């Protein structure tokens, strides 16, 4: 009895937490009232079954796509013969407190601080966890009994087992599945409701993407959504040729969109990748005192595919698209997506095939002509980026710049020598201050005077030499300007 009482009090407390009192004030007289409320419910899920019947070539065929909507009754009562609608999409939703009184406070206004606003980001939708197995109640006008799985599963027999009475409605950015048959779900129970059973054309492809799965391609089924319904994201069991072959995640797909179902790994084909990058000079030109380079910034990726099976395999290799890069010396891609280029590669049985994808973009940079070497310019001549006439002109310019550098070096040497003379003069003047004019000190003082006169003569000589060097530098620089203006830019 104590256990029963405890269960009663716990259930009462739980009910009280979910109970809300509402007071209605009506005018005198009779009234017809309709009471409705919104109750929170877990997100509904969907599960698919894909049953393919391959054609003679085995690379496509017809398939039956079946889907069931799974929803949970978390209300405190049974749901009897309800009208059910399942909405696909991602509406924005939140909880807003309208019951708690709120008194706004006057804001405190401070001196304006101008700071750039931070970036705005939107979080990606996360993958919902798998639901625990539950007993499913299906009320679709007839009784469905579980039976052992047949040895061979075909689309015709499966299509007869499911009666679908679902219509689709577009609600702006959302899509609603309206279940045509009343549904009954007990409190705390779950239900599976068939929402789709349509035949579609499909084809089989091997897709390789190292970011998804390195070393091996993935077997995929590709089809167009011609069901007239938006397909909500959910797991799918894949059956082909009457046998279970794998599982996949069917993405949210609008009407007319393409569905790609990767369901198994092709271990009989191995892919090894190598990549690299480089630069290649396309053209040289001269602009003023600069050497202008037009270069190809190149990058390449090599895919080596080895087929160890007994038959040929065709693989669609997905290569990432790179902004501002163009393909060159590369086979044309068979398909393009927003992020990838798909190249079709056929690998014979027991052999190896190589696909090399090369991309490049044109870049420009410049270097000072004065910093070039004659040996480097000769290499450009050998690569036919410069002609002989331009090389000779550049060689003359390099010689003139070397002359200017030599003159400037000599100017620096004059400055160094002048500084040494000034230092020696300061030392002599310091030694002369305590000396008298007579006797031995007078004789020593006279020698110091002669040294100062000699140093002054040397300073005048340095001044003249500096003037001559500056004149020579100016002359050579004028010649450089004339030659630079007359330089011809090669085509």
At 5-15, the pLDDT tens digits run 676 566 656 65
On the question of pLDDT at 263 being above 80, the answer is yes
Confidence label for 42 from pLDDT (cuts 50, 70 and 90): confident
**CA-to-CA distance for 254 and 231, rounded, in angstroms?**
6
Domain boundaries, the chain: 45-89+134-203+223-263, 269-368, 379-485
Architecture per CATH, domain 379-485, reads as: Orthogonal Bundle (1.10)
- The distance in angstroms from the start CA to the end CA of the chain is 104
Q: What is the mean pLDDT of the chain?
A: 81
- What is the pLDDT at residue 443? 81
**Per-residue pLDDT at 328:** 94
Segment 209-239, tens digit of pLDDT = 998 888 999 999 999 999 888 888 899 999 9
Alpha-carbon gap, residue 16 to 368, rounded angstroms: 84
Residue 22 token pair: 């509402």
Using alpha carbons, select from 233, 228, 230 the residue that is nearest to residue 251: 233
CB atoms within 10 A of CB 303: 21
**Lookup result for tokens 């099976």:** 309
pLDDT of residue 152: 57
**Phi, then psi, of 21 in degrees rounded to 5:** -95, 135
180 phi/psi in degrees, rounded to 5? -80, -15
CB 418 within 8 A of CB 462: yes
Of 230, 246, 257, residue with least CA distance to 46: 230
Supply the pLDDT for residue 135.
Answer: 32
Residues 162-175 have pLDDT tens digits of: 555 667 777 767 77
Q: Is the pLDDT of residue 208 over 90?
A: yes
* Spatial contact of 189 and 52, defined as CB atoms under 8 Å apart: no
Query: Tens digit of pLDDT for each residue in 56-101?
Result: 777 888 889 999 999 888 877 788 888 888 887 777 777 888 888 8
At 316, is the pLDDT very low, low, confident or very high (cuts 50, 70, 90)?
very high
| 241-270 average pLDDT score | 90
pLDDT computed for residue 157 by the predictor:
54
Q: Could you tell me if 306 and 354 are in contact, meaning their C-beta atoms sit under 8 angstroms apart? A: no
Residue 455 has pLDDT above 60, yes or no: yes
Q: What 3-state class would DSSP assign to 243?
A: strand
Model-level pTM greater than 0.75? no
């Amino acid at each position: 009895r104590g256990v029963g009482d405890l269960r009663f009090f716990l259930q009462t407390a739980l009910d009280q937490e979910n109970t809300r009192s509402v007071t209605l004030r009506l005018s005198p007289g009779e009234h017809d009232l309709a009471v409705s409320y919104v109750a929170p419910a877990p997100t509904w899920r969907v599960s698919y079954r894909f049953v393919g019947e391959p054609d003679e070539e085995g690379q496509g065929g017809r398939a039956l796509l079946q889907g069931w909507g799974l929803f949970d009754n978390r209300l405190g009562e049974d749901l009897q013969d309800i009208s059910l609608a399942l909405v696909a999409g991602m509406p924005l939703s939140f909880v807003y407190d309208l019951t708690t009184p709120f008194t706004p406070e006057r804001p405190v206004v401070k001196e304006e601080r101008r700071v750039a606003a931070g970036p705005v980001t939107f979080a990606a939708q996360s993958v919902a966890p798998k639901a625990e197995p539950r007993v499913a109640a299906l009320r679709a006008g007839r009784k469905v009994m579980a039976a052992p799985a047949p040895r061979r599963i075909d689309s015709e027999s499966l299509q007869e087992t499911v009666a679908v009475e679902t219509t689709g409605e577009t609600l702006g950015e959302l899509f609603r599945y309206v279940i045509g048959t009343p549904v009954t779900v007990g409190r705390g129970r779950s239900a599976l409701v068939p929402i789709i059973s349509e035949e579609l054309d499909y084809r089989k492809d091997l897709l390789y993407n190292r970011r998804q799965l390195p070393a091996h391609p993935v077997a995929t089924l590709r089809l167009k959504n011609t069901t007239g319904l938006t397909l909500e994201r959910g797991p799918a069991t894949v059956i082909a040729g009457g046998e279970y072959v794998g599982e996949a995640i069917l993405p949210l797909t609008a009407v007319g969109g393409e569905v790609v179902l990767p369901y198994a790994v092709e271990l009989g084909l191995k892919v090894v990748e190598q990549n690299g990058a480089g630069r290649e000079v396309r053209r040289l030109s001269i602009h003023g005192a600069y050497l202008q380079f037009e270069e190809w910034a190149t990058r390449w990726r090599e895919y080596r595919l080895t087929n160890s099976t007994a038959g040929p395999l065709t693989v669609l290799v997905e290569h990432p698209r790179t902004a501002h890069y163009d393909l060159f010396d590369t086979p044309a891609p068979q398909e393009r997506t927003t992020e990838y280029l798909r190249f079709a590669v056929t690998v014979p049985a027991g052999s190896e095939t190589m696909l090399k994808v090369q991309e490049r973009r044109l870049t420009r940079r410049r270097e000072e002509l004065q910093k070039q070497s004659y040996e480097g310019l000769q290499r450009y001549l050998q690569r036919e980026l410069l002609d002989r006439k331009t090389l000779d002109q550049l060689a003359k310019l390099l010689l003139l710049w070397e002359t200017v550098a030599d003159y400037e070096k000599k100017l620096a040497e004059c400055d160094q020598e002048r500084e040494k003379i000034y230092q020696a003069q300061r030392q002599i003047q310091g030694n002369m201050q305590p000396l008298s004019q007579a006797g031995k000190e007078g004789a020593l003082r006279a020698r110091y005077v002669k040294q100062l006169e000699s140093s002054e003569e040397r300073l005048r000589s340095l001044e003249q030499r500096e003037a001559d060097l500056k004149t020579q530098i100016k002359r050579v620089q004028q010649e450089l300007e004339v030659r630079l203006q007359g330089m011809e830019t090669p085509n």
